[in-house]
Amino acid sequence: MKPDTACIHAARDNTTSTGTVAVPIYQSATFAHPGVGQSTGYDYSRSQNPTREHAEKLVAALEGGFGALAFSTGMAAIATLMELFSPGDEIIATDDLYGGSIRLFDNLSKKNGLVIHYIDTSDLSQAEPLLSPKTKALFIESPTNPMMKVTDISAAKKLIAGRDILLICDNTFLTPYFCNPIALGADIIVHSGTKYLAGHNDTLCGFLVAANAALDERLRFIQKTSGAVLSPFDAFLVTRGIKTLALRMEKAQQNAAAIANWLRTQPKVTKVYFVGLPDHEGYEISTRQARGFGSMISFTVDSEETARAVLERVKLILFAESLGGVESLITYPVTQTHADVPEADRLARGIDEKLLRLSVGIESAEDLIADLAQALG
Ligand SMILES: *Cc1c(COP(=O)(O)O)cnc(C)c1O
């Protein structure tokens, strides 16, 4: 089944005999047992719920994983994932991670005794000297947020081959429609389903996808124990969102390419970061490991005043956090997504007062460019 077909048909509902085309919302906390020691397969919705299970099967199929687990948010998924590790374990992570992941690692994981080494994983030679028997995971995000750096996933796998190290990949930006990290060697995939998967800026959700049965079982035990599961209604919404994932990803990417090329011609724009530009440093790796570049653009302008003016003047594009929805959103990483990252770290990564991040939606590219043109003044 091709990815666009899979988005719609990969997890047909098999819980009813009604012929329902849309998955029913099983708004039930608990399920009655047919007899002592018997179960319908569902006991209590924290353990499993048919609507959530449907969303999980769909995402597992799209990613080519053994199984997927659906969470109330992307951060709940990552927090659950971190329970795989014990005090003293070391994790090597991309330095330009989603700001919330850095906040989790620095404030909760470190407190729990984990050691996190941040490196630029687009240059894997930086990981090599850090590898030790204590290293338990390599956590990558590609492309990164907001600097759009690309990590070579197969090369990352090669680097840790033969060691007891999990390759974890946050695939939120590309989604399974454009990239399948498990096929490239990842052991666990992370998704903020809030973004492209749900796709309409109306639902929070997260997923973990496990490459094998043993990891799936360990993660399910932690999920059932800690409890940050996705509700039946939100599972329905993300399932519905995924039905149009292919169309949305293609249109948003097409818009992003048009906008990135236009931004480059603007006198007040000093740099454009978009993986789909052939001179982007990650372009070549990206064409090898993904079927698309996504629709996230970061760009710098000539001054902080221009950056602030753009945020205040956009009309069609909304000045809001988040990404991956049908609506185009513009973000100011300095005060929003990366507000909690220490200033020195932030500046070292190029996240300064002149940087803006654009999540391109599926409106008309012409209208979006007209809005940016008036906002840039
Ligand atoms: C948003 C995001 C998260 C966190 O997901 P929430 O659903 O907001 O909790 C994690 N990783 C990436 C790349 C994200 O964009």
Q: What ranges make up the beta strands (E) of the chain?
A: 67-71, 90-94, 115-119, 135-141, 166-170, 188-192, 206-210, 269-273, 296-301, 318-319, 329-331, 355-359
Work out the angle at residue 10's Cα, subtended by the Cα atoms of residues 288 and 50, and round it to the nearest 5 degrees.
130
Return the pLDDT at 15. 66
User: End of a domain among 211, 242, 273?
Assistant: 242
| CATH label of the domain that carries residue 334 | 3.90.1150.10
Residues 52, 57, 96, 98: which is the catalytic one?
Answer: 98
Task: Please give the C-alpha separations between residue 94 and each of 17, 116, 162, 373, in angstroms, as whole numbers.
Answer: 47, 10, 21, 34
Return the pLDDT at 340. 78
377 Cβ partners below 8 Å, 6+ apart?
268, 306, 309, 313
> Among this protein's residues, is 357 annotated catalytic?
no
Return the pLDDT at 348. 86
In a shared domain, residues 238 and 258: no
Mutate which of 71, 72, 73, 75 for ligand 1? The one with the most ligand atoms within 8 Å of its CB, which is 75
User: End of a domain among 221, 242, 263?
Assistant: 242
Domain that holds residue 238: 3-242
In a shared domain, residues 202 and 140: yes
* Residue 153 buriedness (CB in 10 A; 0-12 / 13-18 / 19+): buried
Give me 262's structure tokens.
């236009």
In a shared domain, residues 328 and 184: no
In a shared domain, residues 228 and 268: no
Ligand 1 centroid to residue 277 C-alpha, Å: 24
Give me 146's structure tokens.
């907001």
In a shared domain, residues 228 and 283: no
In a shared domain, residues 269 and 145: no
In a shared domain, residues 45 and 80: yes
In a shared domain, residues 365 and 255: yes
Mutate which of 82, 94, 98 for ligand 1? The one with the most ligand atoms within 8 Å of its CB, which is 98
CB 272 within 8 A of CB 299: yes
In a shared domain, residues 20 and 101: yes
Nearest to 8 by CA among 19, 21, 18, 20: 21
| CATH label of the domain that carries residue 8 | 3.40.640.10
In a shared domain, residues 61 and 36: yes
Residue ranges in the chain modelled with pLDDT below 70? 13-15
The structure's pTM equals: 0.97
* Domains identified in the chain, total number: 2
Return the pLDDT at 16. 74
**Residue 114, strand partner residues:** none
pLDDT in tens, 198-256: 999 999 999 999 999 999 999 999 999 999 999 999 999 999 999 999 999 999 999 99
Looking at residue 84, its amino acid is L
Ligand 1 atom closest to residue 75's alpha carbon, by position in its atom list = 9
Task: Please give the C-alpha separations between residue 327 and each of 165, 178, 324, in angstroms, as whole numbers.
Answer: 38, 20, 8
pLDDT in tens, 301-351: 999 999 999 999 999 999 999 999 999 999 999 998 888 778 888 888 889
**Residue 229, strand partner residues:** 71
Distance CA 374, CA 377 (A): 5
User: End of a domain among 203, 226, 242?
Assistant: 242
366 Cβ partners below 8 Å, 6+ apart?
none
In a shared domain, residues 51 and 67: yes
Ligand 1 centroid to residue 98 C-alpha, Å: 7
In a shared domain, residues 56 and 205: yes
Ligand 1 centroid to residue 73 C-alpha, Å: 8
